[in-house]
């Protein structure tokens, strides 16, 4: 069994032979669509300006005061969707080298700015949530347009960019709860997420739901939408219950307590203990990838060495 086959078996919980190493066993590609090769402070494909944080690691954020969409009622005139047919996908695929070793190395695309995230990237978080409640029809129209766009984008990635796995990103949680009620999620977002998962599967690709924060109230829904797994399964969730309920058919990626570990006092032994704890907890049915890219780079080597031990068992 090669690395690609083992990854597919891991994500579909089908008796993999080892725990995948996400920086060695497959290409983990974050944000290579919609943001392209952005500079530190730059525009994405929708014309949203992003600013990197000077205070620490993490993804850049939309620049305050430079919102593209000021009034949800005017979204059809204000929001310009990228022309996906005009993109030279074959050129990009060759430039990034994603079509090399296709039989043995999988391409795992994590694509940010999903159907919820894109609305607040365009409007700002506060205004997007206000629009959701005060102008629900216009907001839903925008979400529907984004859904159709995302489906077409993912089809392009599969057809031209060698995507084997697509992680659709919509962060629905804070550290303590979801941003919106589960009822609103199920009415507005769940049917569209199911269409996205179905479209990915129709192309023979694995569909993963990426959703940060405390979203355990929604994980049943992610599984019902047809997603094959969930990342990054942060420790603020009831992971034991979720694995017990879904682990035999639904994979997990992440789970490392990055907020506690990314401090100067953390030792390599702390990292080893955390890896063993999470592999035992989240990987007991076989469907688990430790997402150690969430940790500080100084820990990457020890993570890779420790994960390799599980390959030899």
* Contact in structure between 54 and 64 (CB atoms under 8 Å): no
pLDDT tens track for 1-32: 999 999 999 999 999 999 999 999 999 998 75
pLDDT of residue 75: 98
The answer to whether residue 171 scores a pLDDT higher than 70 is yes
Considering the chain, what is the average pLDDT of its residues? 93
Q: pLDDT band at 54, cuts 50/70/90?
A: low
pLDDT of residue 32: 58
pLDDT of residue 52: 82
Domain count, the chain: 1
What CATH number has the domain bearing residue 126?
3.20.20.210
pLDDT of residue 31: 74
pLDDT of residue 58: 64
pLDDT tens track for 72-106: 999 999 999 999 999 999 999 999 999 999 999 99
The answer to whether residue 211 scores a pLDDT higher than 90 is yes
Write out the residue range of the structural domain in which residue 207 sits: 3-311
pLDDT of residue 259: 87
pLDDT of residue 38: 58
Name the pTM for this structure: 0.95
pLDDT of residue 17: 94
């Amino acid at each position: 069994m090669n690395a690609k086959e083992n990854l597919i078996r891991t994500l579909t919980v089908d008796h993999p032979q080892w725990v995948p190493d996400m920086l060695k066993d497959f290409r983990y590609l974050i944000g290579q669509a919609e943001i392209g090769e952005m500079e530190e402070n730059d525009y994405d494909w929708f014309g949203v300006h992003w600013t990197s944080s000077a205070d620490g690691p993490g993804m850049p954020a939309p620049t305050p005061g430079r919102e593209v969409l000021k009034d949800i009622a005017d979204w059809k005139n204000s929001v310009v969707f990228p022309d996906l047919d005009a993109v030279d996908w074959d050129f990009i695929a060759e430039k990034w080298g994603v079509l090399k070793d296709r039989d043995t190395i999988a391409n795992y695309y994590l694509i940010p700015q999903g159907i919820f995230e894109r609305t607040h990237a365009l409007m700002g978080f506060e205004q997007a949530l206000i629009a959701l409640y005060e102008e629900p029809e216009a907001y839903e129209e925008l979400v529907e347009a984004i859904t159709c766009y995302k489906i077409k984008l993912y089809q392009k990635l599969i057809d031209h960019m060698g995507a084997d796995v697509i992680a659709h990103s919509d962060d629905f949680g804070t550290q303590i709860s979801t941003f919106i009620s589960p009822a609103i999620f199920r009415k507005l977002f769940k049917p569209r997420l199911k269409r996205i998962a179905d479209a990915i599967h129709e192309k023979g690709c694995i569909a993963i739901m990426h959703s940060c924060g405390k979203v355990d109230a929604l994980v049943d829904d992610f599984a019902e939408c047809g997603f094959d797994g969930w990342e990054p399964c942060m420790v603020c969730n009831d992971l034991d219950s979720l694995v017990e309920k879904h682990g035999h058919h639904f994979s997990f990626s992440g789970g490392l307590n990055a907020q506690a570990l990314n401090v100067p006092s953390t030792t390599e032994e702390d990292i080893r203990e955390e890896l063993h704890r999470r592999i035992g907890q989240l990987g007991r049915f076989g469907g688990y990838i430790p997402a150690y890219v969430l940790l500080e780079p100084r820990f990457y080597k020890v993570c890779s060495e420790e994960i390799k031990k599980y390959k030899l068992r």
